[in-house]
A and B are shown apart, each in its own frame.
Chain A
Amino acid sequence: GENVEQHPSTLSVQEGDSAVIKCTYSDSASNYFPWYKQELGKRPQLIIDIRSNVGEKKDQRIAVTLNKTAKHFSLHITETQPEDSAVYFCAASPTSGGSYIPTFGRGTSLIVHP
């Protein structure tokens, strides 16, 4: 099955700095890579995703890159704000019949200091 490694486990930055979270995966059949943000005690929310036919995707201050050859993908947050503080999970999944079941990384606790 799929194995997703995520680093770092904690990340502390100053407001305005950039934050980068990296993940690797093991299953070459994985072709969908979502990222989730989970605030304390709340449900994970999908913030951005990327498919294997794309190398990079950007949405305002958030961007994700994918290197399928190396089997790694990264989340980049620029101009961080205190409200970005949360746990971020990467995930990887193959798609089958239009559906997918992601395997999650262990999470990165991002702390943005004002």
Chain B
Amino acid sequence: GAVVSQHPSRVICKSGTSVKIECRSLDFQATTMFWYRQFPKQSLMLMATSNEGSKATYEQGVEKDKFLINHASLTLSTLTVTSAHPEDSSFYICSAGEGYTFGSGTRLTVV
């Protein structure tokens, strides 16, 4: 079946720094990948749709300049949280593929 790999699984960063999260499709090509954010005990909220070779599509209320998405190849999409603040602390998770397979998620803590 489809496998989606996400790194890092956990990251702690200082306020004001940037963090890059990678999402890879290991055994299939993905022209589209999705980035979600999940606060504790809450649902998955779609942040943006990552499109290979073109600009990402952001959901309403998501700052594209703060959450930079790059989908440079058919197997890799990256999400960069720029100038991170404590309120950006969350669980970020990507998904891809026909079965909507999720990556393992990244727990971001901004201190």
Beta-carbon nearest neighbor of A9 in chain B: B41
Most buried by A among B32, B49, B102, B107: B102
Q: How far is the CA of A37 from the CA of B32 in the complex (A)?
A: 23
**B102: nearest chain-A partner, CB-CB:** A43
Interface size class of B (residues with CB under 8 A): 10 to 19
Report which of A42, A46, A89, A104 forms a contact with B105, defined as CB distance below 8 A.
Answer: A42
Contact call B42/A43, Cβ cutoff below 8 A: no
Jot down 14 A-B pairs with beta carbons below 8 A, ordered by A. Answer: A42-B104, A43-B105, A44-B93, A44-B102, A45-B102, A46-B101, A89-B44, A101-B34, A101-B46, A104-B44, A106-B43, A107-B41, A107-B43, A109-B41
Q: List 9 other contacts, CB 8 Å, given A43-B105, A101-B46.
A: A34-B100, A42-B104, A43-B104, A45-B102, A89-B44, A101-B34, A102-B100, A103-B46, A107-B43
Instruction: Give A contacts to B, CB under 8 Å.
Output: 34, 41-46, 89, 98-107, 109
